[in-house]
Amino acid sequence: MTNGILLSSVADVDFMVHGIFPYQFFGHTVWITTTHICLLIVLLVLIGFAIAARIAMKRATEVPGKFQNLVEMIVEMLDNVVKGVMGKNAAKFLNYIGTIFIFILICNISGLFGLRPPTADYGVTLPLGLLTFTIIHYNKFKHQKVKGVLKGLCSPWPIWAPINIIGDIAVPISLSLRLFANVLSGTVMMALVYGLLRAVAIVWPAALHVYFDLFSGAIQTYVFCMLTMTYITDAIGDDEA
Amino acid sequence: MEFNENFVLGCSAIGAGLALIAGIGPGVGQGIAAGHAAAAVGRNPGAKSEITSTMLLGQAVAETTGLYGLLIGMILLFVKPLV
């Protein structure tokens, strides 16, 4: 028995990642999946928006037009969020935080447009968590030096070092799993509604879309960026205060 | 003794159901956070936006343990590691 009683065997319910076509990569068979395609679409949209924004800002006027106003509003909003959390360290991280904020937000709400959200694939969220992890530890070593890092590792007593190391490793895992599981649960729920309740799924799933895609997606984006900023601020410490 | 596949699948489904008991904790925790936030807004209505954003952040972090349970349930049902 291969499928049996499980939901995944119901033909209508579909939320898995599908392989589109395989190719050979140094002797390994690697699949191009729906995640790659959705990611590509999201990136193309973002790049298109970025080029349009660049053109608009080159012809920027004193009294902003509609599009210029929108771009300025987005940038100002992101800057204010980052400055509110990171204070004097904000300038260096405005770009990174703004970029991942827009990227994750568009990924999360792409479910509204019929795509399978790329962030509902652990292969997308884990690199985001690892990026944060790298930045945290780069800044830790840069600002606290090796001595400070060792001191932090051995607090309150040297015997706690293994626990502190596990705590450090858990950061990217919990960050990425939180985002992944939230978006995945929304995707599964929508697939169940559209698959099993197909006969009565008229108009009212829109309310579920608002909750699972817009609200939950925006909250998780905010949380991911907020935690990233908090961890980085923590790693920098206040050596330059 | 050899267990057949259906038996293991059934037990996996029961395990997935049990794993989702993890949802109780975040539910209680988020409720407590929302209650205290409501009390805080009552005491200091001027700080409403700040209280709301702090509450949402705390709730989203508290939700993590429940999501781990959800992930275990999903893995049991769809990845079928025990079969």
* In a domain? residue A150: yes
Tokens 């999360």 -> residue: A108
Size of interface A-B (CB pairs under 8 A): 51
> CB B64 to CB A178 under 8 A?
yes
- Per residue in B27-39, pLDDT (tens digit) is 999 999 999 999 9
Q: In this model, does residue B46 exceed pLDDT 70?
A: yes
* In a domain? residue A241: no
* In a domain? residue A48: yes
> CB A177 to CB B71 under 8 A?
yes
* In a domain? residue A2: no
* In a domain? residue B48: yes
CATH number of the domain at B72, please. 1.20.20.10
CB atoms closer than 10 angstroms to residue B78? 15
| pLDDT bucket at B49, cuts 50 / 70 / 90 | confident
Measured CB to CB, residues of chain B less than 8 Å from chain A are: 5-6, 9-10, 13, 53, 56-57, 60-61, 63-64, 67-68, 70-71, 74, 77-78, 80
* In a domain? residue B58: yes
Task: List the domain range (segments joined by +) for residue B62.
Answer: 25-77
| pLDDT bucket at A7, cuts 50 / 70 / 90 | very low
| pLDDT bucket at A12, cuts 50 / 70 / 90 | low
* In a domain? residue A122: yes
Rg (CA), chain A: 22
* In a domain? residue A1: no
Test the B interface: residue of A182, A189, A212, A230 with most B CBs within 10 Å: A182
Quote the number of domains for chain A.
Answer: 1
| pLDDT bucket at A241, cuts 50 / 70 / 90 | very low
* In a domain? residue B71: yes
Quote the number of domains for chain B.
Answer: 1
- Per residue in A53-110, pLDDT (tens digit) is 998 888 877 787 888 888 889 999 999 989 888 888 888 889 999 999 999 999 999 9
Query: Please, what's the b/e burial string for A26-61 (b: 16 or more CB within 10 A of its CB; e: otherwise)?
Result: eeeeeeebbbbebbeebeeeeeeeeeebeebeeeee
Q: Is A17 on the interface with B (CB under 8 A)?
A: no
* In a domain? residue B37: yes
Task: List the domain range (segments joined by +) for residue A141.
Answer: 7-236
On the 0-12 / 13-18 / 19+ scale of CB atoms within 10 A, B53 is middle
Average pLDDT for A119-134: 92
